[in-house]
Amino acid sequence: MKYRLMTPGPSIVPEETLLTLAKPVRHHRTAENKAIMSEALSLLKQVFDTKNDIAIFTSSGTGAMETAVATFIRPGDTAIVISAGKWGERWSELCKTFQANLIELKTDYGKVVSPAEVESALKKHPNAVAVYGQLSETSTGVAHDIEAIGQIVKKTPALLAVDGISGVGAMECRTDDWGIDLLACGSQKALMMPPGLAYLSVSEKAKRVMESKPAPPTYYFDLRKYLAKAAENDTPYTPAHTLIAAQVESLRMMVNHGMENVWKDAKTMSQAMLAAVAAMGLKPFADVPTAGLTTIVVPTGVDGATWPKLLEQKYGVKVAGGQGSLKNKIIRVAHMGYVDAIDVIGIVAALEWSLQELGYSVQAGMGVTAAAKVFSASFVPPKS
Amino acid sequence: MKYRLMTPGPSIVPEETLLTLAKPVRHHRTAENKAIMSEALSLLKQVFDTKNDIAIFTSSGTGAMETAVATFIRPGDTAIVISAGKWGERWSELCKTFQANLIELKTDYGKVVSPAEVESALKKHPNAVAVYGQLSETSTGVAHDIEAIGQIVKKTPALLAVDGISGVGAMECRTDDWGIDLLACGSQKALMMPPGLAYLSVSEKAKRVMESKPAPPTYYFDLRKYLAKAAENDTPYTPAHTLIAAQVESLRMMVNHGMENVWKDAKTMSQAMLAAVAAMGLKPFADVPTAGLTTIVVPTGVDGATWPKLLEQKYGVKVAGGQGSLKNKIIRVAHMGYVDAIDVIGIVAALEWSLQELGYSVQAGMGVTAAAKVFSASFVPPKS
């Protein structure tokens, strides 16, 4: 059975990228590899829409998040965390590990934290070293208004650290214009790669704060070393250089397609999915849906554990369920990275078939018709 | 030109393993992936010759080393470091990062630290929390007598933490019999994989010490979480699961060949290289050569920067030069992992040709004859 990986990480990896991974391994401390690193960094900057320097870590995305905390937070420093789901909670856990004075702006799952709340917290805590948040909160499918939050944080001494792990490449993200000082990303979501690499862009403002702090209590995630080495197209420790070479292939596809187009495509796919969800009488879980991911409330009468299993076992469509308290209450269907309009229409059909099979009343073709109408106004060509 | 990667990491990756890396990506939180993790852990235990639990990190080998320090060393704790080269110095840097009371047993590059020195340091510092050292010191090519050191450390409350990154799979290493409490390894050396994964085996003694310590000052390298998840064939953070699946292929080759044979092959290749080195009138740099790597002193009259360049550019043989103060003074030829007798004979021929070309007087065939004689007594079949 054809397998379609529609989870919010990992996501489908293009064939050209996979083939790059199968190439014979060469040494990593060579002019040839520096050229690959240089291209990777240049492409990442285009995808991040930034002139800032970027560190490449061999780790999961959490490694880049840890670096964004360990570099800047010393015991007692105030850290404001925007917490709208599991990944906001990860920022909080990291801040606790590094003994921050933690100010949590917590909201219910499915809701977003507003820019006004961030503004008020910064007024109350003018010494805050950083504001940590998610561009896209993968656990609930909401998108934060990082543009507006950036305009607020920019006027203060605080840094804005954004987890863009499931957002970058799936929704508009203008690092420099929006004032994102630290943007964390991972390879395995909209950047169309297997897991193994994490990225962190670092603004000049963040560098100044970094230089004012004593050495961080970490060796592997010592950002100072990564930035110094990145300036020479190198890394402080042995990088997963075959993954970096493959990442270049996927990034090239995105940049060749144009980031404006990448963002527009993702938005259209999200609109098509949301139209299908409404047409099928279902409800999205997210108050403000992120572009790369649609979270759907499991309707009454349908078993939340059975639905994703059926989708996988009968239709080969792998979606994610809910995590923690959302277990069996939502499903999460990703449409990020190497996914296009034709994929989305097919996935919507599988949602229809599976719901009918589980006894949920949905008129055949309602979902696909609604989705197809959205696309017909704005066809999404696949990246290639 | 055919390229032969003969550096002490990364090393040649078998074709079957490379092809595994090109397979379509599936989700990582599945029964299917747990089965892969389970096999990886079981194979790693066989390669490490241990019953201890093993943590798999998505990081370079340094990540596993950092974990071996961060988990056990709190400010002021005494750490004894065996330092015979760049990688011994890495242990020291890590111990400094975590504010250890650092006792360094330092020796000149090319020499080893003796078990007697370790014994005497432990007597002087009975409260030492751990002894850190290298099985194979990759920067100089020496092997430490970890078996004897293990017998000494075992009798004390201290833990024995061994960096086996370039040693495991290239030389005998009996984790349990020798009393190695923490064995760190990386994917990209004798384990025949690209870089990206690191491993750490943890003894019951180490677990008891871990449990007696407060939470470590790290989130990503929190060993407690990795061990808890490994018990369920899982990881706390998104693993580079496509690398783990490929690692299984390479580990299977080793285990099918039999670890005794793997170790014997590496030893024979080392003996053949050393016989060739002597026959060519060259000198090994290492007092006690490790099995996976031969370090050769650049002879008088030969330019130490030109020699490896010529080997690479004319013969496609990529060897490593010296690092730091050894720059241009030695070359390092690895014969670990997916390398056999036929490869070694060919590499020796390239050494002969390149030396003749650089004006060093060596009688044609002396090296290859000496190496071939060693092998004829004990032929090394390739792993497959």
Q: Which two tokens stand for residue B188?
A: 């990209």
Task: Kindly state the helix (H) or strand (E) to which residue A178 belongs, with its residue range.
Answer: helix A175-178
Instruction: Using the predicted structure, report yes or no on whether residue A383 has a pLDDT greater than 70.
Output: no
Interface touch B196/A59, C-beta < 8 Å: no
The residue with greater pLDDT, B8 or A380, is B8
Interface touch B238/A318, C-beta < 8 Å: no
Buried-exposed string A137-170: b where 16+ CB fall within 10 A, e elsewhere: bbbbbbbbbbeebbbbbeebebbbbbbbbbbbbb
From the list B61, B218, B243, the residue facing A238 with the nearest CB is B61
Torsion of CA A137, A143, A148, A153, to 10 degrees: 0
Confidence of residue B381 (pLDDT cuts 50, 70, 90): low
Burial class of residue A51, CB neighbours in 10 A (0-12, 13-18, 19+):
exposed
Tens of pLDDT along B156-167? Answer: 999 999 999 999
- From first CA to last CA, the distance across chain A in angstroms is 24
Tens of pLDDT along A297-328? Answer: 999 999 999 999 999 999 999 999 999 999 99
State the Cα–Cα distance between residues B176 and A211, nearest whole angstrom. 45
Mean pLDDT, residues A112-141 taken together? 98
Residue A161, Cα to own-chain centre: how many angstroms? 13
From the list B11, B97, B240, the residue facing A196 with the nearest CB is B240
Tens of pLDDT along B260-271? Answer: 999 999 999 999
Instruction: Using the predicted structure, report yes or no on whether residue A375 has a pLDDT greater than 80.
Output: yes
Distance (Å) from the C-alpha of residue A215 to the closest C-alpha of chain B?
9
Chain A residues within 8 A of B66 when measuring between CB atoms? 218-220
Interface residue of B86, B220, B313, B318 to substitute, partner A, most A CBs within 10 Å: B220
Amino acid at A41: L
Instruction: Using the predicted structure, report yes or no on whether residue A382 has a pLDDT greater than 70.
Output: no
Chain B residues within 8 A of A244 when measuring between CB atoms? none
Mean pLDDT, residues A130-159 taken together? 98
CA angle in degrees (0–180, nearest 5) for B5-B9-B10: 60
Half-sphere exposure of B224 (CA within 13 A, CB side): 15
Tens of pLDDT along A231-278? Answer: 999 999 999 999 999 999 999 999 999 999 999 999 999 999 999 999
Q: Evaluate whether B190 touches B170 at the Cβ level (below 8 Å).
A: yes
Distance (Å) from the C-alpha of residue B238 to the closest C-alpha of chain A?
6
From the list B26, B62, B237, the residue facing A3 with the nearest CB is B26
Tens of pLDDT along B140-149? Answer: 999 999 999 9
- % chain A with pLDDT above 90: 97
Residue A185, Cα to own-chain centre: how many angstroms? 6
Torsion of CA B213, B153, B271, B50, to 10 degrees: -50
Q: Which residue has the tokens 């229409």?
A: A345
Chain A residues within 8 A of B27 when measuring between CB atoms? 5, 7, 10, 318, 320
Query: CB count, 10 Å around CB of A283?
Result: 13
Burial class of residue B73, CB neighbours in 10 A (0-12, 13-18, 19+):
buried
Instruction: Using the predicted structure, report yes or no on whether residue A384 has a pLDDT greater than 80.
Output: no
Query: A365: which DSSP letter?
Result: T
Quick one: pLDDT at residue A377?
79
Distance (Å) from the C-alpha of residue B16 to the closest C-alpha of chain A?
9
Q: Evaluate whether B298 touches B329 at the Cβ level (below 8 Å).
A: yes
Q: Evaluate whether A383 touches A255 at the Cβ level (below 8 Å).
A: no
Interface residue of A1, A17, A25 to substitute, partner B, most B CBs within 10 Å: A25
- From first CA to last CA, the distance across chain B in angstroms is 24
Chain A residues within 8 A of B237 when measuring between CB atoms? 59-60, 62-63
Confidence of residue A380 (pLDDT cuts 50, 70, 90): low
Distance (Å) from the C-alpha of residue A212 to the closest C-alpha of chain B?
18
Beta bridge partners of B202: B53, B182
State the Cα–Cα distance between residues B53 and B235, nearest whole angstrom. 13
Instruction: Using the predicted structure, report yes or no on whether residue A333 has a pLDDT greater than 90.
Output: yes
Confidence of residue A48 (pLDDT cuts 50, 70, 90): very high
CATH of domain A259-377: 3.90.1150.10
Quick one: pLDDT at residue A378?
73
Quick one: pLDDT at residue A63?
98
Span(s) in chain B for CATH 3.40.640.10: 15-257
Quick one: pLDDT at residue B76?
98
Confidence of residue B172 (pLDDT cuts 50, 70, 90): very high
C-alpha dist (Å) from residue A329 to A7, A110, A322, A323, B300: 16, 12, 6, 9, 74
From the list B11, B186, B240, the residue facing A194 with the nearest CB is B240
Chain B residues within 8 A of A63 when measuring between CB atoms? 58-59, 220, 237
State the Cα–Cα distance between residues A288 and A179, nearest whole angstrom. 21
What count of CB pairs under 8 Å joins A to B? 170
Mean pLDDT, residues B241-261 taken together? 97
Half-sphere exposure of A245 (CA within 13 A, CB side): 20
Q: Evaluate whether A199 touches A44 at the Cβ level (below 8 Å).
A: yes
Torsion of CA A91, A95, A101, A102, to 10 degrees: 20
Q: What pairing do the DSSP bridges indicate for beta strands B142-143 and B197-202?
A: unpaired
Q: Evaluate whether B367 touches B351 at the Cβ level (below 8 Å).
A: yes
Amino acid at B139: S
**In 3-state terms, what secondary structure has residue A88?**
helix
Interface touch A13/B22, C-beta < 8 Å: no
Buried-exposed string A254-265: b where 16+ CB fall within 10 A, e elsewhere: bbeeebeebbeb
* CA-based torsion, B225, B226, B228, B233: positive or negative: positive
Half-sphere exposure of A116 (CA within 13 A, CB side): 0
The class level of CATH for A15-257 reads alpha beta
Instruction: Using the predicted structure, report yes or no on whether residue B354 has a pLDDT greater than 80.
Output: yes
Interface residue of B69, B238, B244, B339 to substitute, partner A, most A CBs within 10 Å: B238
**Mean residue pLDDT across chain A:** 97
Mean pLDDT, residues A93-105 taken together? 98
Instruction: Using the predicted structure, report yes or no on whether residue A381 has a pLDDT greater than 80.
Output: no
Interface residue of A1, A3, A36, A60 to substitute, partner B, most B CBs within 10 Å: A60
Beta bridge partners of A201: A54, A183
Q: Evaluate whether A130 touches A72 at the Cβ level (below 8 Å).
A: yes
Closest residue in chain A to residue B5, using alpha carbons only: A26
Closest residue in chain A to residue B215, using alpha carbons only: A97
Amino acid at B83: S
Closest residue in chain A to residue B56, using alpha carbons only: A59
State the Cα–Cα distance between residues B156 and B174, nearest whole angstrom. 19
Span(s) in chain B for CATH 3.90.1150.10: 259-377
From the list A3, A10, A59, the residue facing B220 with the nearest CB is A59
Closest residue in chain A to residue B222, using alpha carbons only: A97
Chain A residues within 8 A of B188 when measuring between CB atoms? 25, 238
Chain B residues within 8 A of A243 when measuring between CB atoms? 194, 196, 240, 243
State the Cα–Cα distance between residues B128 and B158, nearest whole angstrom. 6
Quick one: pLDDT at residue A221?
98
